[in-house]
Amino acid sequence: MTPLRRQADRRRTTVLRREAVLATVPVAVAALLAAAGPAAAGTTGSSGVGDPYFPLQGNGGYHVRHYGLTLRYDTASRHLDGTAVLSARATQKLTRFDLDLKGLKVTRLTVDGTTADFRRDGQELVVTPRRALHEGQDFCVEVTYHGTPKPVTDPDGSPDGWIPTDDGAFVAGEPQGAMTWFPANSHPKEKSSYDFRITVPQGRTAVANGVLLGQRTAHGQTTYRWRQTAPMAAYLATATIGKFKVERYTTRDGIQVYNAVDPREANAAAPVLKKLPSVLEWESRLFGPYPYRAAGSIVDRAPDVGFALETQTRPVYDSAPDLSTLVHENAHQWFGDSVSLTTWKDIWLNEGFATYAEWLYQEQHGGDSAQKTFDKLYATRASDDLWAYPPGNPGSGANIFGTPVYARGAMALHELRKAVGDQAFFRILRAWAAEHRGGHGTTAQFVQLSERESGKQLDGLFRTWLYTQGKPGTA
Ligand code: ARG
Ligand code: ZN
């Protein structure tokens, strides 16, 4: 240590000590209050789950096991009436907890059947139950609400959530749109089962996740009942509404397919949707069994949206998808939907994998080899957007859907494949999907699993491709 440095340190210490003296009085008061009040910090559920990119997403202190959503949407006035019943369990003592809900008016809120106090604070719906919930307690929250849902604008400028269309609504929630249409613990760390009961004017179809339990028309209104029993993150829920042509069938593997297509997109969509069973079979051979009982597609005409989303069991497309997009969104059923993120920073585990599935599909269906796709990307200049930030550390919510996450994320997987060989590589993908099925996975766990399955040390490879700034050099 240089003398200069030591002097600076001493100066800092002095300043700190002086501040400590000044702070003594308030600290003592706070300590007294903490000791006296049972309602002190530690019994309120936090306003977020601690995601650095979306700090208010999700809520601490409880886990939602099941959502029962009853919705009525008037496509003409764009008015939504909703009741959400959340079956939850407290993970700590709770005198207060939050839900995520943006916009809409809450008219009634009960906890275990008793009305509870609530207030709105931005996207937080702050609930104070009449009696504190104890750690481990099962409880039920019922929220009655209505209004005109409005999409939020994501940090990357995309609309997100309940997005009105000329004949209904395109409903997609990644990363933060779920809160625009139902109150939730809305972070991918949290997965739950869902029941939907959606009423729309006769002639419109409401499509959600999972299997269709039934539909009934009375007095000019049709109610659709959907059920998703497999765990699902809130951002993957949909309730897309429109005038749709519906096609239903069961695949050879017993998967129930439900396709809903805007008639204006039907001609363009037909040849691609026809391939869905063979795409799912191909993906099942590569990644292991399809994780759900239901599958399908929602092909809407939503010109303002600009993206598709891997809504669980049934991706939603803003227009007729091309085959690559169909492959991509269905690959997410394994990577992103079944195996979920614990933090948005790990988004390459979703987008890198789904993009690499597109490369593999091309390679095995008469198109470019994955190596050729890699080489073309690698040939771009170091100043290209592709190298703007590393996929394993995009830096902010504005970057999670950028080219480095998709393309360089897929390049990282291709490097892995070259390093371990095809046999080990596909074993890794299948083990990843199987071991984390219905749950979560982190990048660190993926690296560990890759090393275990291949018997190779891979930290250098992942450091280079996932975490190092700028275009990696060739080995
Ligand atoms: N996960 C979607 C995909 O399949 C992209 C979602 C983009 N969302 C957004 N708000 N920009 O790649
Ligand atoms: Zn994707």
Instruction: Give 348-381 pLDDT, tens digit per residue.
Output: 999 999 999 999 999 999 999 999 999 999 999 9
Decide: 318 in ligand 1 pocket, CB within 6 A: no
Q: Is residue 311 part of a domain?
A: no
Average pLDDT over residues 228-236: 98
Note whether 308 and 329 are within 8 A (CB): yes
Cβ(239) – ligand 1 distance below 6 Å? no
Q: Give yes or no: residues 233 and 367 share one domain.
A: no
pLDDT value of position 11: 30
Over residues 315-344, mean pLDDT:
98
Instruction: Grade residue 42 by pLDDT with cuts at 50, 70 and 90.
Output: confident
Question: Which of 211, 242, 265 is the endpoint of a domain?
Answer: 265
Nearest CA to ligand 1 atom 1: 309
Task: Provide φ and ψ at 383, rounded to 5°.
Answer: -85, -5
Q: What's the total number of domains in the chain?
A: 2
Say whether both 123 and 36 belong to one domain: yes
Residue whose Cα lies nearest atom 8 of ligand 1: it is 174
Q: Is the residue at 180 inside a domain?
A: yes
- CA-329 nearest atom, ligand 1: 4
Q: Which residues contact 168 (CB under 8 A, 6 or more apart)?
A: 73, 75, 200, 204, 240, 241, 242, 243, 300
Centroid of ligand 2 to alpha carbon of 215 (angstroms): 31
100 lines ligand 1 (CB under 6 A): no
167-192, pLDDT tens digit by residue? 999 999 999 999 999 999 999 999 99
Query: Is residue 361 domain-resident?
Result: yes
In-domain check, residue 273: no
Q: Is the CB of 247 under 6 A from ligand 1?
A: no
In a domain, 307, yes or no: no
Which of 222, 243, 265 terminates a domain? The answer is 265
**pLDDT band for position 138 (50/70/90)?**
very high
Same domain, 357 and 261: no
Instruction: Determine whether the shortest distance from the Cβ of 337 to ligand 1 is under 6 A.
Output: no
Which whole number is the average pLDDT over 160-172?
A: 98
Structural domain boundaries enclosing 155 = 21-265
Helical axes 348-364 vs 276-287, angle rounded to 10° = 110
Among all chains, which residue has been given the structure tokens 């199987």? 434
Averaged pLDDT for residues 264-268: 98
pLDDT for the residue 41? 54
Q: Is residue 296 part of a domain?
A: no
Predicted TM-score (pTM) of this structure: 0.91
Task: In whole angstroms, give the CA distance from residue 445 to residue 452.
Answer: 10
CATH of the domain at 378: 1.10.390.10
Determine whether the shortest distance from the Cβ of 329 to ligand 1 is under 6 A: yes
7 pLDDT tier (thresholds 50, 70, 90)? very low
* pLDDT score for 33: 41
Given a cut of 80, whether residue 216 has pLDDT beyond it is yes
Q: What is the pLDDT of residue 10?
A: 31
pLDDT band at 150 (very low <50, low <70, confident <90, very high): very high
Same domain? For 51 and 147 the reply is: yes
* Sheet containing 159-165, strands listed edge to edge, beginning at the edge strand earlier in sequence: 152-153, 159-165, 168-172, 240-242, 205-207
Query: For residues 146 and 86, what is the distance between their CA atoms, to the nearest angstrom?
Result: 17
**Which of 204, 239, 265 is the endpoint of a domain?**
265
pLDDT computed for residue 91 by the predictor: 97
- What mean pLDDT is reported for the chain? 92
How large is the average pLDDT for residues 198-202? 99
In a domain, 172, yes or no: yes
Confidence of residue 473 (pLDDT cuts 50, 70, 90): confident
Confidence of residue 4 (pLDDT cuts 50, 70, 90): very low
Regarding whether 94 and 215 lie in a shared domain, the answer is yes
